[in-house]
Amino acid sequence: MEYQHGGDIYTNSVTIDYSANINPLGLPEKVREALHEAVENCSCYPDSRCLALKQALAEFHQVPAEAVICGNGAADLIFQIVQAVKPEHALLIAPSFLEYRQALLAVSSEITYFDLEEKEGFRLEEKKLEKWIEESEIHFQMIFLCNPNNPTGFAAKREDMAKLLDFCRKKGIFCVVDECFNEFLQEPERYSILEDLQKEEFGHVFLLKAFTKIYAMAGLRLGYGICFDRKITNRMEELRQPWSVSSLAQAAGIAALKESDYVARTRELIACEREFLKEKLLELGFFVFESMANYIFFRDMRQAALEEENLLYKQLLERKVLIRSCGNYRGLDGTYYRICVKRRKENEEFISILESVCREMPCGCSPMPEVRG
């Protein structure tokens, strides 16, 4: 199977990886300590119900523990929720995270796409989507909404999402809201629908979150969902394998939830370094979209790049630098890329290498279509 995501440091010879959107501060020290302690109990089976972790998450988010379900990363839960609902016809926003499509194909769902437009910066306009659903006259059973979206990094505000979710409720559409990158936003609560979930009318919503990115725990695989429809979560519990979350991941998750200072420092770092990278990319002649997350979405408009697929990806890989080509996203091609945000020293090194690429082949860029702000 072809590797379709960022972080493929196993196939490629890489010294600098800008393709995976992981917290540049690395694993929190207290999480590392919790892992060392948990190693002593590795001869025992993990708690298949994740009781302590669920309770910690319930207290952290101020929700009942029975509304929380844990999984082997967010991807595990994406497949579980699709298996639980088994939609005959699902709606996907494009471009967006590839795993949604894979999960839907696994249950033979018919998929229809709502394509975001480049002239609008690939931003989701909720009213336009609602109008399109009305006019399509298709009875969708499920929709995936990634907020902030991956790979574009743009986030819809909470009140706009709430209106869209209410519209979907009236249409009988089950909503999966992916907020795995929400914690990187400057004001995450302004964009999260978490507080709305406990309203009776939001029982049709499954909120997806993960420890992977914000706590730099990608290798441990730990995600979780919050849903107030007990039929859905019970069905997911029936479908999942009993020990999908290791004892190491559970211990790390409980410790990570106490790292509030670490998260605050992360947001400050990302906000500063994201703007630094955007400015440098613009100076080099790339077209940069308005990402709000810990990654930047941009386009290489050099004439040579328009003529050769994944040109920038190849040029950087020759220098042992890995970036995420977005050519395998629907609606995009090999001129679109996503890079993560790291610390200043690393970012300066990356930009220096990128500058050397541009010196060899200057950015005599073709005009972009006008993008609405």
pLDDT exceeds cutoff 60 at 370? no
Per-residue pLDDT tens for 196-250? Answer: 998 888 999 999 999 999 999 999 999 999 999 999 999 999 999 889 999 999 9
Whether residue 2 is contained in a domain is answered as no
Query: CA–CA separation, 127 vs 45, rounded Å?
Result: 49
In a shared domain, residues 79 and 202: yes
Amino acid letter, 36: H
Residue 345 burial (C-beta neighbours within 10 Å; 0-12, 13-18, 19+): exposed
Q: What is the pLDDT of residue 4?
A: 53
The pLDDT-based confidence of 2 (bands split at 50, 70, 90) is very low
Distances (CA, A) of 27 to 38, 86, 324, 330: 16, 36, 22, 33
Q: Mean pLDDT throughout 347-361?
A: 94
In a shared domain, residues 75 and 201: yes
Per-residue pLDDT tens for 33-83? Answer: 999 999 999 999 999 999 999 999 999 999 999 999 999 999 999 999 999
Domain that holds residue 52: 29-256
Q: What is the pLDDT of residue 363?
A: 56
Query: CA–CA separation, 300 vs 44, rounded Å?
Result: 51
The pLDDT-based confidence of 1 (bands split at 50, 70, 90) is very low
Query: CA–CA separation, 103 vs 219, rounded Å?
Result: 21
Q: How many domains in the chain?
A: 2
Whether residue 371 is contained in a domain is answered as no
In a shared domain, residues 99 and 143: yes
Whether residue 8 is contained in a domain is answered as no
Question: Could you tell me the CATH number of the domain that includes residue 218?
Answer: 3.40.640.10
The pLDDT-based confidence of 362 (bands split at 50, 70, 90) is low
Per-residue pLDDT tens for 9-30? Answer: 678 889 999 999 999 999 999 9
Q: What is the pLDDT of residue 372?
A: 45
The mean pLDDT value of the chain amounts to 94
Q: Mean pLDDT throughout 180-188?
A: 98
In a shared domain, residues 133 and 235: yes
Whether residue 373 is contained in a domain is answered as no
Q: What is the pLDDT of residue 11?
A: 80
Q: What is the pLDDT of residue 361?
A: 72
In a shared domain, residues 108 and 202: yes
Q: Mean pLDDT throughout 291-313?
A: 96
pLDDT exceeds cutoff 90 at 367? no
Look at residues 192, 227, 256 and tell me which one is the last residue of a structural domain.
Answer: 256
Q: Mean pLDDT throughout 342-357?
A: 98
DSSP character for 203? T
Query: CA–CA separation, 335 vs 326, rounded Å?
Result: 8
Question: Could you tell me the CATH number of the domain that includes residue 299?
Answer: 3.90.1150.10
Whether residue 112 is contained in a domain is answered as yes
Whether residue 282 is contained in a domain is answered as yes
Token pair in block for residue 194 = 């978490």
Parallel, antiparallel, or unpaired: how do β-strands 205-210 and 287-288 relate? Answer: unpaired
In a shared domain, residues 187 and 306: no
pLDDT exceeds cutoff 50 at 369? no
Look at residues 256, 282, 303 and tell me which one is the last residue of a structural domain.
Answer: 256
Token pair in block for residue 109 = 């769902």
In a shared domain, residues 340 and 197: no
Which run of H or of E encompasses 93? strand 89-94
Look at residues 256, 291, 322 and tell me which one is the last residue of a structural domain.
Answer: 256
Per-residue pLDDT tens for 193-208? Answer: 999 998 888 999 999 9
Per-residue pLDDT tens for 77-110? Answer: 999 999 999 999 999 999 999 999 999 999 999 9
Whether residue 205 is contained in a domain is answered as yes
Q: What is the pLDDT of residue 203?
A: 94
66 touches 233 (CB < 8 A): yes
Q: What is the pLDDT of residue 373?
A: 40
In a shared domain, residues 45 and 158: yes
Whether residue 11 is contained in a domain is answered as no
In a shared domain, residues 63 and 109: yes
- CA-closest candidate to residue 168, choices 90, 222, 252: 90
In a shared domain, residues 161 and 207: yes
Q: Mean pLDDT throughout 278-299?
A: 97
Residues with Cβ < 8 Å from 104, sequence gap 6 or more? 82, 87, 90, 92, 111, 142
